[in-house]
């Protein structure tokens, strides 16, 4: 996101109240940045159209054998209507909702219960407890960076299940991929809305003093920021060591994306 730091930026404070001498140029979001109109328009475009773009690709693959021009051609030539395409789209199912709930719960447990150990044997990998960006209130939150570890353990479990345990079908995602897509987008937008409402409500909700702005909304939506380490999260914090984006990334629920907190 095109941005520049503002002058006279206050020193950062850690969660224990100690002033941090690192300047805002080393990592800021929200009011620490001036966002131009092009960047703001791009963020709004992604917020409004990201789920529709994802749905278009999914629908083209599911109903038109991955011919991306097929839906447009059929609608323009009158061979199909939007209502016909929508009627053929698989709806969200109870099974998919249960699977997704179990998945998110498992990822949350991996994030909260297992401190990172990958940084102890992987050269150059920055994991474990790391400082995030300086908030508009001048606070530096600390985060448990263990997304790579969660990714490895998840795939290890999948391989063990496929070859030894047989707890679930190895094609379980493929068999429920469109209903799972609905679940991922619902959770992603729910957590994003919660984070925004939390930031704008009166005292008692915000973790630190209230510092909301349009620039903050843009940064929150796009994940803009300059973290202090290559593995530090760039989304605005929700609380001590936990962010909305951490939950979304861990669960793969962020709209139109699927990343982990290690990225």
pLDDT at 207: 59
pLDDT at 191: 92
Q: How confident is the model at residue 23 (pLDDT cuts 50, 70, 90)?
A: very low
Please write the tens of the pLDDT for every residue from 164-218: 999 999 999 999 999 999 999 899 989 989 988 887 875 545 555 555 544 444 4
Q: How confident is the model at residue 69 (pLDDT cuts 50, 70, 90)?
A: very high
State the chain's mean pLDDT as an integer: 74
**Domain boundaries along the sequence of the chain:** 36-89
Measured from the Cβ of residue 59, the count of other Cβ atoms closer than 10 Å reads 17
Residue with tokens 């606070």: 139
Q: How confident is the model at residue 77 (pLDDT cuts 50, 70, 90)?
A: very high
**Which pair of structure tokens corresponds to residue 81?**
């209507």
Question: Regarding predicted confidence, which is higher, 212 or 226?
Answer: 212
pLDDT at 95: 95
């Amino acid at each position: 996101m095109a941005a520049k730091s503002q002058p006279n930026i206050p020193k950062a404070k850690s969660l224990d109240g100690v002033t941090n001498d690192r300047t805002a140029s080393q990592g800021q979001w929200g009011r620490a940045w001036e966002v131009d109109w092009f960047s703001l328009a791009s963020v709004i475009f992604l917020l409004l159209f990201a789920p529709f773009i994802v749905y278009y690709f999914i629908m083209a693959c599911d109903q038109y054998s991955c011919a991306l021009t097929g839906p447009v051609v059929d609608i323009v030539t009158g061979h199909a209507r939007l209502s016909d395409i929508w009627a053929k789209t698989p709806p969200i199912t109870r099974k998919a909702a249960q699977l997704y709930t179990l998945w998110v719960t498992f990822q949350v447990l991996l994030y909260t219960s297992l401190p990172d150990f990958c940084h102890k044997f992987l050269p150059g990998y920055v994991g474990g407890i790391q400082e995030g960006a300086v908030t508009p209130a001048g606070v530096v939150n600390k985060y448990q960076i263990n997304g790579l570890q969660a990714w490895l353990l998840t795939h290890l479990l999948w391989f063990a299940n496929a070859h030894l345990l047989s707890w679930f079908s190895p094609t379980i995602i493929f068999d429920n991929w469109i209903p799972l897509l609905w679940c991922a987008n619902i959770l992603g937008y729910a957590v994003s809305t919660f984070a925004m409402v939390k930031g704008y409500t009166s005292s008692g909700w915000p973790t630190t003093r209230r510092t909301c702005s349009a620039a903050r909304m843009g940064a929150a939506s796009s994940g803009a920021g300059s973290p202090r380490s290559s593995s530090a999260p760039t989304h605005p914090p929700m609380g001590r060591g936990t962010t909305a984006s951490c939950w979304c990334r861990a669960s793969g629920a962020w709209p139109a994306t699927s990343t982990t907190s290690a990225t």
